[in-house]
C-alpha cells in the first residue's frame, strides 16, 4: 500500500516528537515564577490544584516547590508532556515565542492533543495571534488563550486578579475554573489576541489616571492639605479611580500599597513603560494619536532615567513631582 506524501509527513512529524506517557489531566503546569507568577501558582495550590513548576531560574522554582510541596520540571517540554493544562507568565513577547514556538524545546512541539495553554503574559497582539494560529495549524485540537491580567502583585497574592481572555469559546470554558483559582473577574474578550487588546487599553488608561492622581495629590499637599483628607474627598467625588482609592501614591494615605513601603514590590515602572510602548506601537500601525499617552510615557521615562525603573509606577508622585508624605505635611503644619 502506497502512502501519500502528506501521510508520510504526518507520520515523521509524530516520530520527531518526544515520547511520553499520557499527560496527567489533574496536573497544571506553570511556567514563569516572577513577582506575579509565583503568587498565581501558589493560589492554584491553595485551591487544591496539583501544580508542576518551571522557571529558567531553577533555584527560584525549587524554593517555591519546597514551600508548597509542588514538583519542578527540568525543562519546558516536560511540562507539556506531563500536563494537559499549562499556564505561562513571561516578561516579553520574545520569551513567549521561544517557550511556545521553539522547534526543539517548545511547548507546542511537545504538546499532546486537546492540550490547553493559557498565556497570562502582557505582550503584543500579533505574537499572541501567531501562537494561537500555530497551535491550530498543528491539527491536534490544541487551544491557546491569551489571558493577561490586571490587579498587580496585590491582586496576584490575594487571588483577585482580572483576566482578559482572548481565544475560542470552548477554550475559555475549559480555562475558566483554572482562572477562578487565581482571579475574581474572568472576562472573555473575543478571539485570539483580544485579551492583549483589552490589557493594552486598560494599562494605557491606568498610566494616565495614576499620573493625574499624582499631580492632583501633589498640588493639594504642596498647599498644606492633609493628603488623607484630600484622598477622601477625591474617593467620594468625581475624581474617584483605582489609582486613588485602592493604590494611592502618597506615603501615609493607605497601608499595604507600594507607597507605604518606599514604592517597593509593586508594578515596576519599567514594566508599565513596556505596556505603554505596546500601545504606542499599535497606535502607530493604526495611524491613531495618543496625545495623553505620549506625554505620560515621557513622565515615566523621566522616572526611569533617574534610576527608579524597578520602583512601583506610583512612585511618580515622589520621584517626578517630589510630593511630600503625610508625615511631612503634618510636621510642617505643626
C-alpha cell at 55: 522557571
Distance CA 315, CA 311 (A): 7
Distance CA 279, CA 281 (A): 6
> Residue 18 CA to chain centroid, in angstroms?
30
- Does the annotation mark 199 as catalytic? yes
> Residue 104 CA to chain centroid, in angstroms?
26
Q: Which of 199, 284, 289, 305 is catalytic?
A: 199
Angstrom CA distances, 186 to 113, 173, 182, 205, 255, stand at 25, 11, 10, 20, 27
Q: Which residues contact 300 (CB under 8 A, 6 or more apart)?
A: 207, 269, 272, 273, 276, 313, 316
Report the chain's terminal Cα–Cα distance, integer Å.
96
Nearest to 178, CA basis, from 67, 43, 52: 43
Label each residue of 248-289 as H, E or C.
Answer: CCCECCECCCHHHHCCCCCCEHHHHHHHHHHHHHHHHHHCCC
Q: Could you list the active site residues?
A: 199
Amino acid at each position: 500500500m502506497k502512502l501519500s506524501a502528506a501521510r508520510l509527513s504526518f507520520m515523521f512529524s509524530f516520530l520527531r516528537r518526544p515520547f511520553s506517557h499520557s499527560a496527567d489531566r489533574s496536573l497544571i503546569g506553570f511556567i514563569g515564577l516572577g513577582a506575579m507568577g509565583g503568587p498565581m501558582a501558589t493560589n492554584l495550590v491553595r485551591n487544591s490544584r496539583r501544580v508542576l513548576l518551571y522557571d529558567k531560574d531553577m533555584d527560584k522554582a525549587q524554593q517555591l516547590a519546597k514551600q508548597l510541596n509542588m514538583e519542578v520540571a527540568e525543562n519546558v517540554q516536560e511540562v507539556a508532556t506531563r500536563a494537559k493544562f499549562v499556564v505561562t507568565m513571561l516578561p516579553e513577547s520574545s520569551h513567549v515565542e521561544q517557550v511556545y514556538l521553539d522547534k526543539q524545546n517548545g511547548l507546542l512541539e511537545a504538546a499532546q492533543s486537546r492540550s490547553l495553554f493559557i498565556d497570562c503574559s502582557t505582550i503584543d497582539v500579533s505574537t499572541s495571534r501567531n501562537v494561537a494560529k500555530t497551535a491550530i495549524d498543528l491539527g491536534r485540537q490544541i487551544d491557546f488563550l491569551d489571558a493577561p491580567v490586571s490587579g498587580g502583585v496585590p491582586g496576584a497574592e490575594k487571588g483577585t486578579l482580572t483576566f482578559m481572555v482572548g481565544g475560542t469559546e470552548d477554550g475559555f470554558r475549559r480555562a475558566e475554573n483554572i482562572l477562578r483559582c487565581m482571579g475574581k473577574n474572568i472576562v472573555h474578550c473575543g478571539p485570539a489576541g483580544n485579551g492583549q487588546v483589552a490589557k493594552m487599553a486598560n494599562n494605557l488608561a491606568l498610566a494616565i489616571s495614576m499620573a493625574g492622581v499624582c499631580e492632583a495629590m501633589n498640588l493639594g499637599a504642596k498647599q498644606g492639605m492633609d493628603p488623607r483628607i484630600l484622598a477622601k474627598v477625591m474617593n467620594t467625588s468625581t475624581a474617584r479611580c483605582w489609582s486613588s482609592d485602592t493604590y494611592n501614591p502618597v506615603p501615609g494615605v493607605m497601608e499595604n500599597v507600594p507607597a507605604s513601603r518606599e514604592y517597593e514590590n509593586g508594578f515596576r515602572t519599567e514594566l508599565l513603560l513596556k505596556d505603554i510602548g505596546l500601545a504606542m506601537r499599535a497606535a502607530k500601525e493604526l495611524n491613531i494619536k495618543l496625545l495623553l499617552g505620549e506625554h505620560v510615557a515621557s513622565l515615566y521615562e523621566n522616572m526611569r532615567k533617574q534610576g527608579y525603573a524597578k520602583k512601583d509606577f506610583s512612585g511618580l508622585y515622589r520621584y517626578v513631582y517630589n510630593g511630600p508624605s503625610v508625615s511631612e505635611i503634618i510636621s510642617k503644619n505643626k
